[in-house]
Structure 1
Amino acid sequence: MTTLALVMIVKNEERHLGRCLQSVKDIVDEIIIVDTGSTDRTKDIASSFGAKIFDFKWIDDFSAARNYALEQSTSDWNLVLDADEYVINQCESTIRRFLEKDEKKIGRIRRIDEFIQNGEKRYAQSYLSRLLPKGVKYVGRVHEQIETDLPREDLDIEVYHDGYIATDKTDRNLNLLLLELEKDPFNDYVLYQIGKQYKLKQQLRQAERYFEKSYQLVPLYSWYRHNLVVDYLYTVRGNQSFEKGIKLIETEQNSLADSPDFHFACGLFYMDLIFSDVNQYIHLFPLIEQSFLRCLAIGDTAKYDSVKGTGSFLALYNLGVFHEALGNVNKAISFYQKAADLQYGQAIKRLEMLNRQ
């Protein structure tokens, strides 16, 4: 029988580890825990699940720790998770079918990320390469990636991640990424990740600088290009680098025609652009509505990493805002109601306010 190990690196994860292990203990054949210096109950919790526990001295290199952990596995395949992630669907049969096909592929899980934006909880989804055949290794000091040419396959394995809510790791990640950049100054992916950390820190001028460098270098069909373009567009919007944003949209509008997140970012960008100088940009006014309607036409999608609602309730809500600003109250209410029907809280509140007027 083909065997599967859960492989993790941890440090001071007593808050999350039990939840993660509970979610996968009946799926895997062994649990490998590599501890990089815990001072809490992390090891005790791991031991209670029958994990094989190993110590690894932290050397500011996630790939080194992950590769050491993979080396401790005796299984044919390895499922890599972090402590603040946990499986939320019945996926054992999916995993077993994938393993028993005996094909050299990488399995990609669908991770749901919980995060805070504009004071409210939002949810993003992304596919990550986490089901690995024995022998596959990681590269990269931080935001590490597997080093392989094996094909990827998206699997119906849903993993929830709430680590962005619990802890702020941007300073740690940024320091490691800058060290990585010193070794490879033209690494487009590292430049992108540095831009993301600055964006998370709300240092948008720095973020724009690194996104721009990455954008100039990134291959046309790179797996993360979509995310880079969307993050870059939000950043130039925040910095009011409007001419740069116009050029970015013109360049990418065909290749990302089927991305709701791209069109959603375009709609918000056009709003800020036009109100920055109505006389100069008023001719672009119809593009606000067109962008959000395009989001609805595409719908929420699994093709790209995406924020939940950009193809549905978030676009509907912004169409409501658009028409309310124009004085089209009935049309605004119609869009708000559709968003409220999808349980979007901001739309429900807006309807209540309008009904009281």
Structure 2
Amino acid sequence: MRLSLVMIVKNGESTLRRCLESAAKYVDEIIIVDTGSTDNTKLIALDYQSRVFDYEWTNDFGAARNYALDKSTCEWSLVLDADEYISNDCREALTNHLHSVPAIGKVKLIDKFMGKDGINHEQTYISRLFPTNCRYTGRIHEQIVSDLPRHKVDIEIQHDGYFQKEKSSRNVPILIDEILDHPEDPYFHYQIAKEYRGMGNHEEAYSHLSTAYSKITRREGYAPSIIINLMYSIISTGHLEEGLHIIESEQKFMWNSSDFYFVSALFLLELINSNLEIYGELLPLIEDYYLRALEIGDNEQEGSVIGTGSFAAHHNLGVYYEVTGSINKAQEQYRKAAFYNYEPSLERLKELK
């Protein structure tokens, strides 16, 4: 079975080489469809013996990706964007998938974004490895249409596109059109909120996450992520009055989500600091929520942020113990976080010696 790397690109010279370097060794051909680059994107693509095609952009990612798939000569296709790259050795996983029962391969996408406590990494699973005769639908955040089963494949893809303001400014108008066309679909509100978060526009992100939250049925795979991101947005914007109701309403649904308990603890700290007299009695819940996050641990749930069930929770619990005067307990938690080489905990341990 032969495999194509299939990409659509525009002005990707800053990241394309990194992407191609990570993937070229696994594929039999590289298809690059350029939608109007004015930089050295196409020259970089040619360095990797890519087959490069020009395509007139029509504000439709699905159509552009289908055009790229039309150019593939291989039975299977792997789809990447220029701001992504493969970060693990996936040769065996690719080989096994291509020679097993036909299925859509879901790869782990690790999104890098700026959170309130610094850079965070959110993981999701997306369909990126499939028979080339499959096709996309949707103008943005397009989806593969297929009746084939979907299997997770051990391929890790790093993505830092939410740091690129130009990309977000291109995506937002398309997402607005999708929202106008599908006003009851929470998915596009969820996706545009991610774009606004990357742009630092937390009020717009909050507005769209609130709308998405009001429309979810909780049968959506991304529903937990909407709830968690709304809690972070509430913290970022100071709309604290809503957070307690969400925590109370969603604990049963989110019982196995370390991210939910982690962000709930962060929220409680903000709430208590906003009015100690009214909310001070909630302080012990911060410890309870971090302990619950650690009990659940890091997992493969859709939209989970790496560390909320391990090093980040240990560190924050250490901070809680430190400010409440339990220094020995704080040091114990910092040591557990330091096991992961978590720099903030390593620094606190030095200072507490």
Indicate whether the TM-score tops 0.5: yes
Return closer, same or farther for 1:119/1:274 CA change in 2, 3 Å cut-off: closer
- 8 Å Cα contact 2:221/2:302 also seen in 1: no
Q: 2:34 matched to 1:35? A: yes
Superposed CA RMSD in Å reads 2.0
Aligned pairs for 1:267-346 (under 5 A) are: 267-346=265-344
Partner AA of 2:311 in structure 1: F
Q: Deviations over 1:236-291 (max 9, x none)?
A: 23333334222212222122211111111011011112222233323322210011
Aligned pairs for 1:1-357 (under 5 A) are: 2-103=1-102, 105-118=103-116, 120-165=118-163, 169-355=167-353
- SS of 1:26's partner is helix
Count of residue pairs the alignment pairs up: 353
TM-aligned CA deviation for residue 297 of structure 1 = 1.0
Alignment identity in percent?
44
Partners of 1:194 and 1:305 lie apart in 2 by 15
Stretches of structure 2 that go unaligned for 5 or more consecutive residues are none
Partners of 1:106 and 1:250 lie apart in 2 by 37
Return closer, same or farther for 1:110/1:352 CA change in 2, 3 Å cut-off: same
Return closer, same or farther for 1:54/1:18 CA change in 2, 3 Å cut-off: same
Deviates more, 1:188-197 or 1:111-120: 111-120
- SS of 1:227's partner is helix
TM-aligned CA deviation for residue 228 of structure 1 = 0.7
TM-aligned CA deviation for residue 166 of structure 1 = 5.5
Partners of 1:174 and 1:277 lie apart in 2 by 36
Partners of 2:324 and 2:12 lie apart in 1 by 51
TM-aligned CA deviation for residue 191 of structure 1 = 1.5
TM-aligned CA deviation for residue 11 of structure 1 = 1.4
Return closer, same or farther for 1:140/1:116 CA change in 2, 3 Å cut-off: same
Q: Deviations over 1:103-150 (max 9, x none)?
A: 2x2101112333333474333322221012233222332222223443
Question: TM-score normalized by structure 1?
Answer: 0.91
Question: TM-score normalized by structure 2?
Answer: 0.92
- 8 Å Cα contact 2:162/2:195 also seen in 1: no
Return closer, same or farther for 1:20/1:202 CA change in 2, 3 Å cut-off: closer
- SS of 2:322's partner is helix
Partners of 1:65 and 1:301 lie apart in 2 by 34
TM-aligned CA deviation for residue 165 of structure 1 = 4.1
Partners of 1:65 and 1:203 lie apart in 2 by 29
- 8 Å Cα contact 1:33/1:51 also seen in 2: yes
- SS of 2:77's partner is strand
- SS of 1:169's partner is helix
Return closer, same or farther for 1:192/1:4 CA change in 2, 3 Å cut-off: same
Partners of 2:87 and 2:205 lie apart in 1 by 33
Partners of 2:330 and 2:120 lie apart in 1 by 23
Partners of 2:253 and 2:266 lie apart in 1 by 19
TM-aligned CA deviation for residue 152 of structure 1 = 1.6
- 8 Å Cα contact 2:29/2:50 also seen in 1: yes
TM-aligned CA deviation for residue 85 of structure 1 = 1.6
- 8 Å Cα contact 2:137/2:144 also seen in 1: yes
- 8 Å Cα contact 1:208/1:232 also seen in 2: yes
Stretches of structure 1 that go unaligned for 5 or more consecutive residues are none
Return closer, same or farther for 1:293/1:248 CA change in 2, 3 Å cut-off: same
Return closer, same or farther for 1:119/1:127 CA change in 2, 3 Å cut-off: same
Q: Deviations over 1:308-332 (max 9, x none)?
A: 2111111111111111111222222
Partner AA of 1:272 in structure 2: E
Partner AA of 2:33 in structure 1: V
Partners of 1:192 and 1:142 lie apart in 2 by 13
TM-aligned CA deviation for residue 28 of structure 1 = 1.6
- SS of 1:74's partner is coil
- 8 Å Cα contact 1:259/1:304 also seen in 2: no
Partners of 1:314 and 1:160 lie apart in 2 by 20
Partner AA of 2:339 in structure 1: D
Q: Deviations over 1:209-243 (max 9, x none)?
A: 22122122223221211111111111123333334
Partners of 1:320 and 1:196 lie apart in 2 by 30
- SS of 1:59's partner is coil
Partner AA of 1:48 in structure 2: D
